[in-house]
Amino acid sequence: MIEIIVQILITSVLLLVVAKIVSGIEIQDWGAAIFTAIVLGIVNAVVKPILIVLTIPITVLTLGLFLFVINALMLWMAGSLVSGVRIKGFWYALLGSVVLSILNTLVYMFI
């Protein structure tokens, strides 16, 4: 249980950092960031596997690059479900998901 809470807090901090780096993503406060992290975790656990299975042919044709699009859609969906979070468009969601993935990888390399 503690691990899940720590993951949510780390993701919340990283979402706030992403909002500072990517100009098209706005997060109002800590509450919105924490709620977005929770929603993003649920969306990644429920919707993302279904999309991955449905888009296997496209993913194979693009040599896995379509997974970036799926990650962007998950971030965009989570942002649209939470009030206090505004993602201005798909390209900002794509850039934000790439930055979030890189930061997430860096943080978990040190933990």
**In sequence order, what DSSP letters do the residues of 38-72 get, joined into one string?**
HHHHHHHHHHHHHHHHHTHHHHHHTTTTHHHHHHH
Report pLDDT for 102.
96
Report pLDDT for 111.
83
Q: Band of the pLDDT at 18, cuts 50, 70, 90?
A: very high
Q: What is the identity of the amino acid at 42?
A: I
pTM, two decimals, is: 0.92
For residue 11, pLDDT over 90 is answered with yes
Torsion, CA 19, CA 20, CA 23, CA 27, rounded to 10? 40
Span 73-92, average pLDDT: 96
Query: If you average pLDDT over every residue of the chain, what do you get?
Result: 96
